[in-house]
A and B are shown apart, each in its own frame.
Chain A
Amino acid sequence: MIAVAGKRRIVWAPTLGAPDWTLTLLALGLSVVGLLLVWSATRMDGDHGLLIRQAVSVGLGLLLMWFVSRCDLRVLRAYVPLAYVLALVSLAGVLSPLGVRVNGAHSWIVLAPGVQFQPSEFAKVALALAFAVPLGELRDGQARPGFGGVLLALVLAAVPIGLIALQPDLGTMLVFAAMVSGALLVSGAPKRWLLVLVAGAAAAGAAAWKLGLVRPYQLERLLVLANPAADPGGVGYNAAQARIAIGSGGLTGKGLFNGEQTAGHFVPEQHTDFIFTVAGEELGFAGAAAIVLAIGVLLWRGLSIARHSASPYGAVLAGGVVSWLAFQTFVNVGMTVGLMPIVGVPLPFVSYGGSATVAGLLAIGLLQAVHRTKAMQP
């Protein structure tokens, strides 16, 4: 936002460029579509509660997005350690008696009745910020992060990932891994590090397997993808119902609020992880593809922002954010169309969920901040 003439310049934005309106409009549009789909998915319950909560979340998210987008990266940088520590504390808090178990995993902290949040969503924002520090703040003469930087970055990432593994929340762990990979890639870290990372991930997976950290239900989900018929009443049933709902939408869909499968609640978690099935059934190929394309364009813009970032820190931050959003989109839509196992991650900007919605819009705010932060004038 350009300050209006006559008003005092806001102190934390000494030299901000113009925002990327495409990015803002796409995020806003997707959020509105998300609201409509949440309404459609919950309309049969005769209760607007979820819709109203989601609208509040979107409003709060937009406010925070606007606020963050008006921050110079160098100002934000000052708060990164605090954000990181807060994220770790809240992630640990989930495991404390404050946490609420859902589907066998601790994911929520309840602050007051009806007010709860998912620390792992905010941890995504905090990690994106923190992770970019060792990778993007290079000493003079360095073109890319060295051994120490990469090691520190991996340590920074390992702690929250470990905490999330204890919940356990496989989906979020995978999002973090994607984020770390994307950020490393953009930072220009040596290839061998990327290889080490892949090997490390494989080793970690094997270790988790051996130590029994992977819960049976997670394994089940992976197996069901291979053979949906193996479990008609369980996870495979859900996958089949999701495919049926989307497939029955045809080219143009049955019309918003006219989805018959949606009305019958045949698809589980339809306002959250499976919200895309509402789009598929009611808006058809036209609407569903448009949502995918919109996110694609948004991500493309994000990568352009990374490309043109005034600082390596901004580039790494943008790379991490884009990887996070891209991975979630691919996994979420992929599981509804039967390309991916059923892993519980929300569709950015669209799924119902306060924490995820606010975190997603915050991420757009970060991209805007990267975009608008100008290089220091020497």
Chain B
Amino acid sequence: MPRARLLVLRLLVVAMVATLVGRLWFLQVVSGAEYVRAAADVRIRTVPVAPVRGQIVDVAGRPLVTNRTRPVVTVDAVALAHQPDGGRSVLERLGEVLDQPYRQIAEKVRLCGPEVAQPCWQGSPYEPIPVAEDVTAPVALQISERQQDFPGVRTELRPVRVYPFGAAAAHTLGYVQGAQGRDGLEGVYDRELAGRPGRRDVAVDNTGQVTRTLREEPPVPGNTLVTSLDSRIQTIAEQAVARALAASGAKSGAAVVMESQTGRLVALAGLPSYDPAVWTDGVTAREYKRLPLLSQAVQGEWAPGSTWKVSSVAAAANAGYGLGAFYDCPSGYTVGNRVFRNFASADLGLMTMHGALVESCDTIFYRLADQLWQRGSEAMEKTARGFGFGKRTGVDLPGEAAGAVPDRASKKALWQATREESCRRAVKGYPEMADRGRAAYLTAIAKENCRGAGVWRGGDAANFSIGQGGVLVTPLQLARAYAAVANGGTLHSPRVGLKVVKPDGTTVTTITPPVAGRLPASAETLRFIRNALSQVPRKGTAEEAFKGFPFGKVAVAGKTGTAESFGHRDTSWFASFAPDPAYTVVVVLSEGGRGGEGAAPAARDIWEGIIGLRERR
């Protein structure tokens, strides 16, 4: 045999062995560590373990939001991807069982990516993707018993938020999406409620099936938020508002019940509301648009009407007017070239500020405001701000509205901002408006605003003094102001949260409503006001509503408010408080008519409910 030829083959064999061994050396010894890491990345998945979210309970520990488990059908995207047809047949079978079209399920389980538009799964491909929630037991059983037909599909029990009181306090409680508290207390106290997720390192095989658990860090369950809400009073308040709205045909309203001494909130009712259970199943974009997500008690703003007069009386005292002195209450009072009239143009004769509050005389305040305006005094506006109006209360709820306290500066600024539009409208009018009356009214205002140079005039001051003319308050602001009147002048920043409690019952933090300020009114003035307000339900503007009320049990004092809102029926207010139980109750009904007719009966309902609870104890 030719040796040379064999030598070629021998060299080839040697070269082959050398090449392969050299490459192995490089892979296994030189870059071994790097491959060990890469191998772990391939083999080990870190799965977050969701903690149980804390409950939200009322002051007596009744759950307002709790958790329950329910069967959820989940799909393992990785397992599906490893099936020969990409899992199509499994999803089609699943669609039949769940009574969902295949496309819908496929959209839920496809993974989001640069090429994939919503709807798609945004989470990790290694966590099971829920495709159907709260399936019935037969369906769950079918899926778990026919595992050979449903590889990669599982039914598991997952915690969901449950709202035992349904729509009660929906806005206050907020909701959870994913694991994120949104809106309401769920949002504000999210960190306390959420707990800390654990993690589990699991070994997976090439199909993503977990083969064993390598390391587990258990999750820390969330803490319970104890609130100062009393679910019974909450229910009473909601029913009272709902009844009053049904009676008046109005759409929206709110009630606030607050502990006058502490600033803790006992009930926050707002309608329209919704059942937060809708969040558990996910909400489509269209449903979301229709949900009444506005919390009327905290985010709704209305003109306060005569409830505002407590601030105006305090302003009068601050400006040196004697509260016990007699003032004339004519049917009308002329400011500039305009006649400002009493309600129903009633001429009530001479009275003190006591009478002005009890009978709710407007003309006394018009004169007062006009005189102060002529002196260039801003006592009215300053006092109103001192009562906490025009700025947020700082309540532990999101999206609070600030209300509005107009004055010289703000009117000027507004005028500058809207002058062009006003002058355009002054000429053009509002031809696009169907309501001719409203169009004429707005055109008149536009003309005035165009001419007026944004000057704060006596008429503005007069309107301001009776809680009209651009003054806006939230029910919460008004409740806090009346609570301060009741408690001797302390303004609190209200709180719903009372304390945060660990699952084992130990208190983590106690939440105390901070003091936000003092009313700009002497103790004597406040006593005078309280005294006057105690007469309103007995023989004043709310006498009708409180006929037969057991004042012996609870000495309710209050003030009605009726605010005009052009083109709508009046906004109806009743702000009230009592020494024992030391609650402040404020009710507002948009388009509720007169305060004495709409809101006062609703407030009475709430007070009677509170009395009823007391007597049942």
Q: Which A residues have a C-beta under 8 Å from some C-beta of B? A: 44, 144, 182, 185-186, 188, 241, 243-251, 260-261, 263-266, 280, 284-285, 288-289, 292-293, 295-296, 299-300, 303, 306-307, 309, 312, 315, 319, 322-323, 326, 329-330, 333-334, 337-339
Bound together, the chains give a CA A178 to CA B210 distance in angstroms of 44
Contacting residues, chain A, for B34 (C-beta < 8 A): 247
Contact between A292 and B32 (Cβ–Cβ < 8 Å)? no
Contact between A266 and B206 (Cβ–Cβ < 8 Å)? yes
Contacting residues, chain A, for B27 (C-beta < 8 A): 243, 246-247, 280, 337-338
Contact between B39 and A292 (Cβ–Cβ < 8 Å)? no
**Smallest CB gap from A189: residue in B:** B5
Contacting residues, chain B, for A263 (C-beta < 8 A): 205, 211
Residue of B3, B13, B24 near A296 (CB, 8 A) is B13
**Smallest CB gap from B25: residue in A:** A285
Contact between A241 and B42 (Cβ–Cβ < 8 Å)? yes
Q: Is B523 an interface residue, CB under 8 A from the partner?
A: no
Q: Which B residues have a C-beta under 8 Å from some C-beta of A? A: 1-3, 5-6, 8-10, 12-14, 16-17, 19-21, 23-25, 27-29, 31-32, 34-36, 38-39, 42-43, 203-207, 211
The number of A-B residue pairs with CB atoms under 8 Å apart is 135
Contact between B5 and A293 (Cβ–Cβ < 8 Å)? no
Q: Known: A247-B38, A299-B13. Is A284-B1 also a contact (CB below 8 A)? A: no
Contact between B13 and A186 (Cβ–Cβ < 8 Å)? no
Q: Known: A264-B203, A306-B1. Is A248-B8 also a contact (CB below 8 A)? A: no
Residue of A249, A266, A284, A288 near B42 (CB, 8 A) is A266
CB distance from A258 to the nearest CB of B (A): 13
Contacting residues, chain B, for A300 (C-beta < 8 A): 10, 13
Contacting residues, chain B, for A261 (C-beta < 8 A): 39, 42-43
CB distance from B142 to the nearest CB of A (A): 28
CB distance from B149 to the nearest CB of A (A): 22
Interchain Cβ contacts under 8 Å between A and B, 12 examples = A248-B35, A248-B39, A250-B36, A264-B42, A280-B27, A285-B28, A303-B10, A307-B1, A326-B9, A334-B19, A337-B20, A337-B27
CB distance from B412 to the nearest CB of A (A): 66
Those 8 A-B pairs whose CB atoms lie nearest each other, nearest first: A247-B35, A296-B17, A248-B39, A285-B28, A264-B205, A250-B32, A265-B206, A247-B27
List 20 other contacts, CB 8 Å, given A260-B43, A285-B25.
A44-B205, A144-B2, A185-B8, A188-B5, A241-B42, A250-B29, A251-B29, A261-B42, A264-B43, A265-B205, A265-B207, A280-B28, A288-B28, A292-B20, A299-B13, A303-B10, A323-B9, A326-B13, A333-B20, A334-B19
Q: Known: A266-B206, A326-B13. Is A247-B1 also a contact (CB below 8 A)? A: no
**Smallest CB gap from A295: residue in B:** B17
Contact between A186 and B1 (Cβ–Cβ < 8 Å)? yes
Interface of B is mostly: helix
Bound together, the chains give a CA A262 to CA B137 distance in angstroms of 39
Q: Known: A248-B35, A330-B16. Is A285-B24 also a contact (CB below 8 A)? A: yes
Contact between A322 and B5 (Cβ–Cβ < 8 Å)? no
Residue of A144, A241, A264, A284 near B204 (CB, 8 A) is A264
Contact between B13 and A245 (Cβ–Cβ < 8 Å)? no
Contacting residues, chain B, for A293 (C-beta < 8 A): 17, 21
Residue of A185, A186, A241, A248 near B32 (CB, 8 A) is A248
Contact between A289 and B16 (Cβ–Cβ < 8 Å)? no
Contact between B36 and A292 (Cβ–Cβ < 8 Å)? no
Contacting residues, chain B, for A245 (C-beta < 8 A): 39
Bound together, the chains give a CA A169 to CA B207 distance in angstroms of 28
CB distance from B558 to the nearest CB of A (A): 72
Contact between A266 and B6 (Cβ–Cβ < 8 Å)? no
CB distance from B85 to the nearest CB of A (A): 16
Contact between A312 and B1 (Cβ–Cβ < 8 Å)? yes
**Of residues B12, B13, B16, B42, which shows the largest number of chain A Cβ atoms within 10 Å of its Cβ?**
B13
Contact between A337 and B39 (Cβ–Cβ < 8 Å)? no
**Of residues B5, B29, B36, B206, which shows the largest number of chain A Cβ atoms within 10 Å of its Cβ?**
B5
**Smallest CB gap from A249: residue in B:** B28
**Of residues A244, A299, A337, which shows the largest number of chain B Cβ atoms within 10 Å of its Cβ?**
A244
Contacting residues, chain B, for A303 (C-beta < 8 A): 6, 9-10, 13
**Smallest CB gap from A322: residue in B:** B9
**Smallest CB gap from A246: residue in B:** B27
Contacting residues, chain A, for B211 (C-beta < 8 A): 263-264
Residue of A247, A296, A307 near B6 (CB, 8 A) is A307
Q: Known: A243-B27, A244-B38, A329-B16. Is A309-B1 also a contact (CB below 8 A)? A: yes
Contact between A337 and B24 (Cβ–Cβ < 8 Å)? yes
Bound together, the chains give a CA A324 to CA B32 distance in angstroms of 32
Bound together, the chains give a CA A315 to CA B20 distance in angstroms of 27
Residue of B3, B8, B17, B28 near A247 (CB, 8 A) is B28
**Smallest CB gap from A286: residue in B:** B28
Contact between B9 and A182 (Cβ–Cβ < 8 Å)? yes
CB distance from A350 to the nearest CB of B (A): 14
CB distance from B274 to the nearest CB of A (A): 45
Contacting residues, chain B, for A339 (C-beta < 8 A): 19-20, 23
